[in-house]
C-alpha cells in the first residue's frame, strides 16, 4: 500500500492506494472525505474522473474533485 498526500482547498489529504496485481485493479481511498473507489488497470483518465465525480459526496468543488481524480490516475500509473 502506498500513501500519497495532496492539497485541496488549502487542506492536506492522505490518499491510500492499494494494488491488487492478481485481479488487475487499484483501491484508492481518501478517509478524510469518506470516499473510496476501484481503478481498473485499463481505465482511462476520463473513466477515473467520471467515477470520482459520480461517487464522491464531499464538499469539494468540481475543479478540486477533477484534480483529485487526475492525481489518483497518475499515482496508479506510477505503481
13-62 pLDDT, tens digit per residue, is 999 999 999 999 999 999 999 999 999 999 999 999 999 999 998 888 99
List phi, psi (to 5°) of 42: -85, 0
Grid cell listed for 77: 500509473
pLDDT on residue 58: 84
| Residue 55 in grid coordinates | 461517487
pLDDT at 74: 97
Q: What is the pTM of this model?
A: 0.91
Cα gap 21→10, rounded to integer Å:
34
Amino acid at each position: 500500500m502506498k500513501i500519497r498526500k495532496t492539497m485541496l482547498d488549502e487542506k492536506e489529504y492522505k490518499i491510500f492506494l492499494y494494488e491488487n496485481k492478481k485481479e488487475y485493479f487499484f483501491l484508492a481511498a481518501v478517509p478524510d472525505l469518506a470516499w473510496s473507489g476501484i481503478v481498473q488497470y485499463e481505465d482511462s483518465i476520463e473513466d477515473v474522473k467520471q467515477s470520482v465525480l459520480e461517487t464522491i459526496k464531499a464538499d469539494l468543488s468540481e475543479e478540486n474533485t477533477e484534480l483529485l481524480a487526475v492525481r489518483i490516475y497518475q499515482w496508479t500509473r506510477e505503481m
